[in-house]
Chains A and B, each alone.
Chain A
Amino acid sequence: MQKRYMVIWFRHLTTDWLTLRKPELKDVPFAFVAPERNRIIITAANPIAEAQGIYRGMAAADAKAITTNLQVVDHLPGKEAKLLKQLGLWCIRYTPIVAVDLPDSLILDISGCAHLWKDERGYLKEIVNKLRSSGYNARAAIADTIGAAWAISHYGKITPIVGSGEQAQALLNLPPIALRLEDAVLQKQQKLGFATIKSFMQIPRTVLRRRFGDGFLLRLAQALGVEDEHLVPLIPPIPNTERLPCLEPVRTAKAIEIAITKLLESLCVRLQSEGKGIRKATLKCYRIDGKMVHAKISTNRGSHSVSHLFKLFELQINKIEPALGIELFLMEATKVEDIDPLQEKLWADKPGLQDTALAELLDKLAGKIGAKAIYRYLPSENYWPERAIKQTSSLTDVPTTKWRNDRPRPLRLLQHPEPVEVMALLPDYPPKVFTYKGKRHIVEKADGPERIEREWWQDKGVHRDYYAIEDAEGQRYWLFRSGHYDAAPQWYLHGFFA
Chain B
Amino acid sequence: MADNKRELINSLQKNILQWEGYKPPSLSERKLFGLNTIEANFPNGIFPIRAVHELVCDNTEQATASSGFISGLLSVLMQNSGACLWISLSGNMYPVALRSFEVEPDRIIFIQLKKDKDVLWAMEEALKCAGLTAVVGELSEVDFKQSRRLQLAVEQSGVTGFILRNRSNKMGSTACAARWHVKPLASEAIDGLPGLGFPRWQVELLRVRNGKPGNWVVEWSDTGFTPILKEQLEHQIQKVG
Q: Are A413 and B92 in contact (CB under 8 A)?
A: yes
Which of A356, A412, A446 contacts B93 (CB under 8 A)? Answer: A412
* Complex Cα gap A399–B92 (Å): 21
Q: Are A369 and B99 in contact (CB under 8 A)?
A: no
CB within 8 Å of A: which B57-84 residues: 60-61, 63-65, 67-69, 71, 80-83
B17-25, B126-134, B169-177 - the one binding chain A: B126-134
Which residues of chain A are near B220, meaning CB under 8 Å?
498
* Complex Cα gap A211–B95 (Å): 82
Q: Are B111 and A399 in contact (CB under 8 A)?
A: no
Query: Interface size (A, Cβ < 8 Å)?
Result: 56
* Complex Cα gap A395–B107 (Å): 9
* Chain B residues near A (Cβ < 8 Å): 60-61, 63-65, 67-69, 71, 80-83, 90-101, 104-113, 118, 121-122, 125-126, 128-133, 183-187, 189, 194-196, 199-201, 220
Q: Are B105 and A413 in contact (CB under 8 A)?
A: no
Nearest chain B CB to A139 CB, angstrom units: 56
Q: Are B71 and A498 in contact (CB under 8 A)?
A: yes
Which residues of chain A are near B199, meaning CB under 8 Å?
476, 497-498
Which residues of chain B are near A472, meaning CB under 8 Å?
186
Decide if the interface of chain B is mainly helix, strand, loop or mixed. Answer: mixed
A495 contacts partner chain B, Cβ-Cβ < 8 Å: yes
Q: Are A475 and B184 in contact (CB under 8 A)?
A: yes
Q: Are B129 and A361 in contact (CB under 8 A)?
A: yes
Supply 22 A–B pairs (Cβ within 8 Å), ascending by A. A353-B109, A355-B131, A356-B131, A357-B130, A360-B129, A361-B128, A369-B113, A373-B113, A375-B111, A379-B106, A403-B95, A405-B96, A405-B97, A411-B71, A411-B98, A412-B94, A444-B186, A447-B195, A474-B185, A476-B61, A497-B199, A498-B97
CB within 8 Å of B: which A403-435 residues: 403-405, 408-415
Decide if the interface of chain A is mainly helix, strand, loop or mixed. Answer: mixed
Nearest chain B CB to A426 CB, angstrom units: 16
Question: A373-B112, A377-B106 are contacts. A351–B131 as well, Cβ < 8 Å?
Answer: yes
A234 contacts partner chain B, Cβ-Cβ < 8 Å: no
* Complex Cα gap A365–B135 (Å): 14
Which of B107, B129, B201 contacts A352 (CB under 8 A)? Answer: B107
Which of B111, B184, B189 contacts A374 (CB under 8 A)? Answer: B111
Question: A373-B112, A409-B94, A411-B93 are contacts. A474–B131 as well, Cβ < 8 Å?
Answer: no
A398 contacts partner chain B, Cβ-Cβ < 8 Å: yes
Question: A361-B131, A376-B110, A495-B94 are contacts. A470–B187 as well, Cβ < 8 Å?
Answer: yes
In the complex formed, the residue of B with least CB distance to A475 is B61
Q: Are B80 and A362 in contact (CB under 8 A)?
A: no
* Complex Cα gap A365–B97 (Å): 27
Across the A-B interface, give the 10 residue pairs with the lowest CB-CB distance, nearest first. Answer: A498-B68, A355-B131, A357-B131, A413-B94, A474-B186, A358-B131, A496-B64, A352-B81, A405-B99, A447-B195
* Complex Cα gap A375–B86 (Å): 10
Q: Are A476 and B184 in contact (CB under 8 A)?
A: yes
In the complex formed, the residue of B with least CB distance to A477 is B61
Q: Quick one: which of A389, A473, A496 has the most chain B CB within 10 A?
A: A496
Q: Are A368 and B121 in contact (CB under 8 A)?
A: yes
Nearest chain A CB to B100 CB, angstrom units: 5
Nearest chain B CB to A381 CB, angstrom units: 12
Which of A351, A357, A364, A468 contacts B196 (CB under 8 A)? Answer: A468
Q: Are A350 and B111 in contact (CB under 8 A)?
A: no
Nearest chain A CB to B204 CB, angstrom units: 14
A73 contacts partner chain B, Cβ-Cβ < 8 Å: no
Q: Are B95 and A377 in contact (CB under 8 A)?
A: yes
* Complex Cα gap A474–B186 (Å): 4
CB within 8 Å of B: which A271-309 residues: none
